[in-house]
Structure 1
Amino acid sequence: MKVHIFSDVRCPFCYVGKKKFEKALSIFPYKDQIEIEWHSFQLDPTLRTQPERDPYEFFSELKGLTLEQTRTMHGHAEEAGKEVGIDFNFQNQKVANSFKAHLLLQKAKLLGKADSLKEELFKAQFILGENIDDKHQLLSISQRAGLSIEEAQEALGSEEMAYHIKQDEQLSRSIGVRAVPFFVFNEKYGVSGAQSPELFLEVLEKAWKEYTPSSLETIEGPEGACSTDGECN
């Protein structure tokens, strides 16, 4: 059974959602028969990379918030991260466009290394404070995920990988994805947000029993997600 995951490397709740889903999957009896496919979803394709900017000040200006409000919002994400073992380092994160990171993700999918690369990209963005729009840093990140320098360089200049990103964007629009993370189970059930492991497990079990494709039923919940308008809650 396949589980599709739409996410952006710049979304902290996508990292949290990854960890919560993995926890649910680890205790699912048929976990070895679950295939995960990562999909590209850029929260802000027009974002200009500004690695020298203070991330809190940038977000405050972007959203028209005070620094105190911005720190409070990030504090909520920090607490969510601690619950799943993520030590977010928002102060040192770089303001960077994620398109090149998605180019690498598309290549990693073809090589069967997407999950490993996704983890390394999240670490780079939210823990190590690396620039996910910098070619040299991306090559290093790719190596940590098991890609060769040649494979990563090819991806960063590939029109084919860029086309795959556009395909993912079209797919997300066709099924109504407006915020990430977004999980699709067996082409049937959609789960929006970084939900609890218990909810993920429940949907895994339900989807496993039902194989007849039908219209996508979205399951909303109280946990966090990031939308294309820049809101993370």
Structure 2
Amino acid sequence: MKIEIWSDIMCPFCYIGKRNFEKALARFPNKDLVEVEWKSFQLDPAMPEAPKYQDDMYMFVADRKGMSYEQSKTRHQDLIQYAKSVGLEYNLDKALVTNSMKGHRIIQFAKTKGLGEKAEEILFFAYFTAGKNLNNSATLVELGKEIGLTESEVYTALTDPLYLQKVESESYEAQSLGATGVPFFVLNRKYAIAGAQQPNHILQTLENSFAEWQKESPQTALNVTAGKVCIPDKECH
């Protein structure tokens, strides 16, 4: 059964939602029959690479939302505590607000090598915990290597129009499915979970979706006639 997860690497609830999903999946007895695909969704495609108040997230949000600095900081402190409750450390005092497109392009390339989830995790950590600038070329090369990409592959991800198109296509796809924000989880194209739900809720939805999928796609046991065979890492007999 396939699960598609749309997220933005600069969305604080997406990282929290990732942890809650992982906890739910770890408790799911049929997790080996689940395929997970991470997909791109840009919350603010028009965001400048170096916006006003880039190095002060509290002021950046206060200015954008029309609230006081103190109100913004209080909200973010609540967010830091929420993240801590799921095992994440958010160092928002040193976060650098920026456009997320370059990070998404790297994720799209990483997906072609089966490294999509790893790319998500590393970029989330880089932004929310390590305070990395996700529009700095040297930083992106460093993070790309941590993901498992070469410097040349990072350059390709950042310059080939294909990966820009993939990001935009997946964002449009999410909207066509009814997503108005992220994280957005779609299970078997029949169930959807919007937002960073608790693991118990995710697990219940996972079980319901899997039960339907299993009815539609029953696992058939084959009637095998045995002969001489070679087995990986063992002798042929």
Q: How does 1:101-180 map to 2 (within 5 A)?
A: 101-180=103-182
Distance 1:100 1:89 in 2: 21
Distance 2:117 2:140 in 1: 16
| Secondary structure class of the residue paired with 1:179 | coil
Residue among 79, 82, 93 paired with 1:80: 82
1:165-217 residue CA offsets vs partner (Å, 9 max, x unmatched): 1210220111111111010011110001111110111111111011259xxxx
Letter in 2 for 1:32: D
Corresponding residue number in structure 2 for 1:27: 27
Distance 2:89 2:168 in 1: 32
Residue 136 of structure 1 and its aligned partner are, at CA, apart by: 1.4
Residue 86 of structure 1 and its aligned partner are, at CA, apart by: 0.4
Residue 74 of structure 1 and its aligned partner are, at CA, apart by: 0.9
Letter in 1 for 2:15: Y
Q: How does 1:80-99 map to 2 (within 5 A)?
A: 80-99=82-101
1:107-151 residue CA offsets vs partner (Å, 9 max, x unmatched): 111110010110000011100000111221111111111122221
Distance 1:71 1:17 in 2: 22
Q: Is the 8 A contact 2:8 2:43 kept in 1?
A: yes
Distance 2:181 2:169 in 1: 17
Which segments of 5 or more consecutive residues in structure 2 lack a partner in the other structure? 218-237
1:19-58 residue CA offsets vs partner (Å, 9 max, x unmatched): 0000010111111111111111111111112275322111
| Secondary structure class of the residue paired with 1:38 | strand
Q: How does 1:5-84 map to 2 (within 5 A)?
A: 5-50=5-50, 53-84=55-86
Corresponding residue number in structure 2 for 1:3: 3
Letter in 1 for 2:142: S
Higher Cα radius of gyration = 2
| Secondary structure class of the residue paired with 2:16 | helix
Corresponding residue number in structure 1 for 2:224: none
Distance 1:4 1:101 in 2: 18
- TM-score of the aligned structures, taking structure 2 as reference length: 0.87
Q: Is the 8 A contact 2:55 2:95 kept in 1?
A: no
Distance 1:159 1:139 in 2: 18
Aligned-residue identity in percent: 39
Which segments of 5 or more consecutive residues in structure 1 lack a partner in the other structure? 214-233
Letter in 2 for 1:152: V
Aligned length: 213
Distance 2:145 2:26 in 1: 26
